[in-house]
Each structure stands twice: as structure tokens, then as C-alpha cells.
């Protein structure tokens, strides 16, 4: 989806169309005009919208409209920095509930047209065109156009589509023509369309891998493809080296993953100001309890229990630690999570000021699949294998 969060906001506030708008920060940061009850959202005069100018506070941009991107602001940029680059930009708080609503809407349209879909987050999917009637017409362009049109008619939102023989290339293709673009990449286009790109464009090569590659004199995917397999394995290890070799040649055999279970559920928060474990004990304790309650609520709503409880700290120097605590039974209620997380927290260093606290529950199991607590337990006895094979 194109500039997804910002585009959803523009549906509510059409008067912002064409203007630099950034989404980011919490409710607190922009409660000015938007917070109180309003006549009609579309009637709010432009002058009532909060601007980035003079913004103080933590947080990053999650999405910027294309008009805002002209000023050099974009995703993951600190809001304070963005305020310098584009003070006149309008800032709106994130509203995940609203984005999730539109996320469900567009995904429902996709699966209506093409049932084999892999969910890649709130605004992205992989779609298998192979078995869809008409999926091969004009190399996939006809079906891509149909998707765009249907999604736009139902939601008013635009998207970009990349069509290719595999997920790796489709993802890269989808970036070629944003917004509202369609790009088709065939195997024979590798040299002309993929090899000139920076290695960073490969989904899976991030800042660290890219830096290391550059240190080895490799900037483009073509340069990566020119290296032989053994050389890459020597520098990046068996798995990563072999994967890089395949990716640089446009090869990817991964199937679409159409269903999956969550691995962990977590909540975390960055404080308005750094807190000290001793001096701000009460405040920290209240946040800790709230995070546990939120995680418990998430588990309950989604129908899971977990037995590995973890905490995450980020210190004022941005370094972080995690501590895990695995129980011998599954839990889901806030008090039990708080208790286990408290145990984990005790094992973490707490002398430095904190900027973030998080609580996570992992080793999940569907509530209905969990062993019944306090129910009939099997009577423990010596392992039978030991009796049957005493010599080993």
C-alpha cells in the first residue's frame, strides 16, 4: 500500500491532500486540535492542525506523505529532525486501530480475487497469481490492474504491485513505480533491472550487511553476483553466503506462507523522559504493571497462553538488554506475567537510566491446547527408556 498510514489519515482529513503530512508520535504529542470532539473531521480548518514546527519530544516518523518526502523527511526519522527539515508539515498521531481496519479490507479484496496470499504485515502481501484465471495475461498486468482498481473503489487507497517469478523479485519490482505503479520483472530482466541496484534493495540485506559488503568493495547486486559462491561463504558464513549468491542471481524458491501462528506477543514503551530504577520507582512500577496488563489483554483477545516471559530494557545510551524467564506451566493473566517478568527484571542491571521498558510473552500455545492447570496430572515416574536401555 502506498504511504499507508498517511493515506488512511487523508481519507479522514481530505483537506490535507497534497500537503506535507507526517504520521508519528503518540497521542500526547499532538492532542492540540484533533483530540477534542469535533463537528466533522473534513470541516476542520487547516490552521487547526498541529505542525511539526517547534515540536519537542521523542518519536519517529512512521509514514510521510509524498509531499512531505519532497523535503527529505521519511520513515524512521526522528520527529525533531523532521521539524527542522519541514517545519510546516502537519503531524498526526498514529491510529493503529484505523489502519488495521483498512488492512483487513484490502486483504479481503486480495483473497477474493486471488486466494493464495501471504500476509507480510499491515500494508504488504505476497499474492500467487499462478492459478488465478487470467493471472498470466499481459504478464500479470491485467490482474495487477484489477487489484488496484478494486482496492481503490472499496477503500480510496492506492497500492503498487510488482509481478515476478518469485517473492524476492516481486518485492523489488513493487518498489520500482511507486505510488500506484505496476512493474513486471522477468527472469531475463535480471541484468538490466536488478543488477544495477544497490545490494540494500535485497529484502534481507540491511544496514549491517550492506556496510560489510561495501567494505569489501561491493555496492551493486551485479557486483555481488560476480563473486563466486565460496568467496561469499568465506566472508559471510555458509547460510548467508549461499543465500546472497542465490539472491544476487534473482533466485528464490520460497513458497508463500499462507498461515502461521504467532511466536510471541509483546508491549513496550519509550518514556517521555529517561527514568531511574530507584528514583522513579513508583512511575516505573506503574508502567510495568500496565505493560503486563496490555500483554495479558492481547493474549486473551487472541486466545493464547505462554510460558516464556521476557523483559526488555533500553538505557539512556540506547543500548539494551533482555531477560527471559521460562516457567513450567502456561500463563496468560496480568498478575502471573507481572510476577514472572519481575523475576526476570531482577536479573537485569538497573543502575543506568532507562528510556524504554518492554514485556514479552513467548513459547505460546493456543489456550484450548494448554494442559489444564491443577487438573489431573500424570504421576511422575522414572523415564521408561532408562529402564529399557539401561546400558545407554
Partner DNA sequence: TCTGGGGTCCTAGGACCC
Positions annotated as catalytic residues are: 124
Mark the segment that binds DNA (CB under 7 A) among 72-80, 132-140, 177-185, 224-232. Answer: 72-80
* 158 interacts with DNA by CB under 7 A: no
What CA–CA distance (Å, rounded) separates 363 from 262? 9
Query: Cell triple for residue 389?
Result: 536401555
Task: Report how far apart, in Å, the C-alpha atoms of 86 and of each of 15, 16, 26, 58, 260 are.
Answer: 19, 15, 19, 17, 41
Q: Does 353 bind DNA (CB under 7 A)?
A: no
Sheet with 264-275, strands from edge to edge, namely: 264-275, 354-366, 304-315, 320-331
124 sits near DNA (criterion: CB under 7 A): yes
CA distances from residue 277 to 54, 58, 62, 334, 339 in whole angstroms, order as listed: 31, 20, 30, 21, 17
Among 268, 280, 293, 333, binds DNA (CB under 7 A): 268
Interface region with DNA, contact rule CB under 7 A, candidates 57-65, 153-161, 183-191, 367-375: 57-65
Provide, rounded to whole angstroms, the least separation between the CB of residue 49 and DNA.
21
Q: How far is CA 356 from the centre of its chain?
A: 18
Contact 361, 266 (CB under 8 A): yes
Residue from the set 321, 329, 335, 369 that interacts with DNA by CB under 7 A: 321
Do residues 229 and 251 make contact, with C-beta atoms less than 8 angstroms apart? no
289 sits near DNA (criterion: CB under 7 A): no
Closer of 58 and 141 to DNA (Cβ): 58
90 binds DNA (CB under 7 A): no
Q: How many residues bind DNA (CB under 7 A)?
A: 66
Judged by CB, which is closer to DNA: 34, or 94?
A: 94
Establish if 75 lies at the interface with DNA (CB under 7 A).
yes
| 253 sits near DNA (criterion: CB under 7 A) | no
Among 347, 366, 369, 373, binds DNA (CB under 7 A): 347
Instruction: Mark residues 357-376: x for contact with DNA by CB under 7 A, - for none.
Output: -x-x--x-------------
142/287 with CB nearer DNA: 287
Among 40, 192, 253, 263, binds DNA (CB under 7 A): 263
Q: What is the C-alpha to C-alpha distance for residues 279 and 155, in angstroms, rounded to an integer?
A: 49
Q: Does 81 bind DNA (CB under 7 A)?
A: yes
Only segment of 58-66, 104-112, 160-168, 366-374 that touches DNA (CB under 7 A): 58-66
- Told to check if 282 binds DNA by CB under 7 A, we report no
Binding site for DNA (CB under 7 A): 26, 58-60, 62, 75-76, 78-81, 84, 120-124, 171, 202-210, 237, 239-240, 260, 262-270, 294, 298, 307-308, 310, 317-318, 320-326, 344, 347, 355-356, 358, 360, 363, 383, 385-386, 389, 392
Amino acid at each position: 500500500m502506498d504511504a499507508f498510514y498517511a493515506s488512511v489519515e487523508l481519507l479522514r482529513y481530505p483537506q490535507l491532500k497534497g500537503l506535507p503530512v507526517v504520521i508519528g508520535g503518540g497521542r500526547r504529542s499532538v492532542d492540540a486540535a484533533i483530540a477534542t470532539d469535533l463537528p466533522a473531521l473534513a470541516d476542520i480548518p487547516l490552521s487547526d492542525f498541529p505542525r511539526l514546527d517547534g515540536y519537542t519530544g521523542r518519536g519517529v516518523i512512521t509514514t510521510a506523505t509524498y509531499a512531505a518526502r519532497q523535503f527529505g523527511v521519511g520513515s524512521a526519522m526522528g520527529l525533531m529532525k523532521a521539524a527542522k527539515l519541514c517545519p510546516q508539515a502537519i503531524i498526526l498521531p498514529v491510529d493503529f486501530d484505523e489502519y488495521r481496519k483498512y488492512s483487513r479490507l484490502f486483504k479481503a479484496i486480495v483473497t477474493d480475487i486471488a486466494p493464495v496470499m501471504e500476509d507480510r504485515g499491515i500494508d504488504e502481501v505476497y499474492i500467487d497469481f499462478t492459478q488465478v484465471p487470467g493471472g498470466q495475461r499481459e504478464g500479470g498486468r491485467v490482474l495487477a490492474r484489477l487489484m488496484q482498481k478494486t482496492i481503490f473503489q472499496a477503500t480510496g487507497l492506492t497500492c503498487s504491485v510488482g509481478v515476478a517469478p518469485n517473492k524476492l523479485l516481486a518485492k523489488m519490482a513493487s518498489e520500482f513505480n511507486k505510488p500506484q505503479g505496476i512493474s513486471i520483472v522477468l527472469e531475463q530482466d535480471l541484468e538490466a533491472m536488478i543488477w544495477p541496484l544497490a545490494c540494500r534493495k535485497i529484502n534481507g540485506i540491511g544496514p549491517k550487511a550492506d556496510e560489510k559488503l561495501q567494505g569489501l568493495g561491493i555496492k551493486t547486486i551485479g557486483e555481488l553476483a560476480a563473486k563466486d559462491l565460496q568467496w561469499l561463504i568465506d566472508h559471510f558464513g555458509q547460510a548467508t553466503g549461499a543465500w546472497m549468491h542465490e539472491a544476487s542471481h534473482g533466485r528464490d524458491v520460497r513458497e508463500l506462507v499462507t498461515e502461521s501462528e504467532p511466536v510471541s506477543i509483546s508491549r513496550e514503551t519509550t518514556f517521555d523522559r529517561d527514568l531511574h530504577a530507584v528514583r522513579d520507582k513508583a512511575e516505573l512500577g506503574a508502567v510495568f504493571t500496565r505493560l503486563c496488563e496490555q500483554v495479558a489483554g492481547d493474549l486473551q483477545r487472541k486466545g493464547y497462553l505462554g510460558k516464556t516471559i521476557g523483559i526488555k530494557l533500553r538505557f539512556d545510551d540506547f543500548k539494551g538488554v533482555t531477560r527471559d524467564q521460562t516457567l513450567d506451566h502456561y500463563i496468560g493473566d496480568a498478575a502471573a506475567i507481572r510476577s514472572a517478568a519481575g523475576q526476570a527484571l531482577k536479573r537485569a542491571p538497573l543502575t543506568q537510566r532507562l528510556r524504554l521498558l518492554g514485556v514479552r510473552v513467548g513459547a505460546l500455545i493456543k489456550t484450548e491446547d494448554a494442559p489444564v492447570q491443577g487438573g489431573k496430572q500424570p504421576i511422575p515416574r522414572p523415564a521408561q527408556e532408562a529402564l529399557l536401555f539401561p546400558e545407554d
